Amino acid sequence: METLKCIVQRITYINEENGYTVLRVRVRGFDELVTIVGNMGAVNVGAVLIVKGEWQTDRKFGKQFAVKEYEETLPATVHGIEKYLGSGLIKGVGPKFAGLIVKTFGADTLNVIEETPDKLNDVPGIGQKRVEMIKEAWLEQKEIKNIMLFLQDHDVGTALAIKVFNEFGAESINIVKENPFKLTEITGIGFKTADIVARKMGFDTESEYRCKSGLIFVLNDCSNDGHCYMPRNDLIKKAAEMLGIDESKLDSTINEMLLFHGLILEPPDNIYVPPLFFCENGTAGRLKSILTSGFDVIDTEDIINAVEKSTEIEFDEIQEMLSI
């Protein structure tokens, strides 16, 4: 892979759901701005990026640099800091106040915002309300970046990291540290991804969270073949094989999940995840209700003839077939 160090000049496009971004950046040695694309999340104008990837040629947009990995560093120059702050990164700071802040603190601006933000009151005309907005927005941006870095360090890519933040917000790191299998609640993150994260974090292979999540994964995977449940012994055997743990551990886990309604038992030994249990029983109940309630047989040909007569329209053969 090739590595570029660049400064973000313009954000052309960003998908808020998965973090896919198109940026125009300045790169030393290139006379014109370079287009870079990829999942880069919360990147702002003025940010300094170190990106790794490959050049590609898009049929519509031409030459682009496709980013596989990226790292953001804070701008080092006064001009870069001013552009960074004035990009819309922080609510309450546009180009005007970015200029005033940088004029007051120079190259030390970002350290002031990070470590002693109350000094911002020294900036002419800024006001306490705006200072509080800056402090709050800076903390939020910092939290987002911390979450992104934490998740990327545990093999969760940018696109999925953004989904995690959108789901769990500022508590993302604490939630994942406590139970990485909570990640499976998010669309696009399955058990296998969560399991990789858990192993990297040093979770015990027989942890309660892993056993429960593994059992649910096996049942849901079975449903892809059209099955709503699994016999208990089959479930234990398959889950034990997948997880690489003793069957007795899963037997006790199932007992606990049944006790707290995480799973449902239909005698003698069929195990369901609750949504499929209620869907199957609800469907059966509706069908039984229809069969026992009785209904009138409608003569569609009579209806078609009546409609044709009242509207003076004559249906062709295909229309009549579709109406039956």
Q: Is residue 33 situated within a structural domain? A: yes
pLDDT value at residue 256: 95
Q: Which domain holds residue 190?
A: 154-200
CATH of the domain at 92: 1.10.150
Q: Is the pTM of this model over 0.75?
A: no
Of 208 and 316, the structure prediction assigns the larger pLDDT to 208
Same domain as 90, residue 58 = no
Number of structural domains, the chain? 5
In the chain, pLDDT over 90 holds for what percent of residues?
Answer: 45
Residue 28 has pLDDT above 80, yes or no: yes
Banded model confidence at residue 54, pLDDT cuts 50, 70, 90: very high
Q: Is residue 281 situated within a structural domain? A: no
In the chain, pLDDT over 70 holds for what percent of residues?
Answer: 96
CATH of the domain at 253: 1.10.10.10
CATH of the domain at 34: 2.40.50.140
Q: Is residue 63 situated within a structural domain? A: yes
pLDDT value at residue 322: 63
Residue 321 has pLDDT above 80, yes or no: no
pLDDT value at residue 140: 79
Banded model confidence at residue 91, pLDDT cuts 50, 70, 90: confident
Q: Is residue 300 situated within a structural domain? A: yes
Is residue 105 within 8 Å of residue 115, measured between CB atoms? no
pLDDT value at residue 86: 81
Q: Could you read off the pLDDT of 222-234 as tens digits, one per residue?
A: 999 999 999 999 9
pLDDT value at residue 316: 80
Q: Could you read off the pLDDT of 165-175 as tens digits, one per residue?
A: 888 888 888 99
Q: Could you read off the pLDDT of 184-208 as tens digits, one per residue?
A: 998 878 899 899 999 988 999 999 9
Residue 246 has pLDDT above 90, yes or no: yes
Banded model confidence at residue 324, pLDDT cuts 50, 70, 90: low
Q: Is residue 307 situated within a structural domain? A: yes
Residue 135 has pLDDT above 80, yes or no: yes
Question: Which of 73, 95, 113 is the endpoint of a domain?
Answer: 73
Of 89 and 193, the structure prediction assigns the larger pLDDT to 193
pLDDT value at residue 183: 93
Average pLDDT, the chain: 87
Residue 258 has pLDDT above 90, yes or no: yes
Q: Could you read off the pLDDT of 266-298 as tens digits, one per residue?
A: 999 999 999 999 999 999 999 888 888 766 767
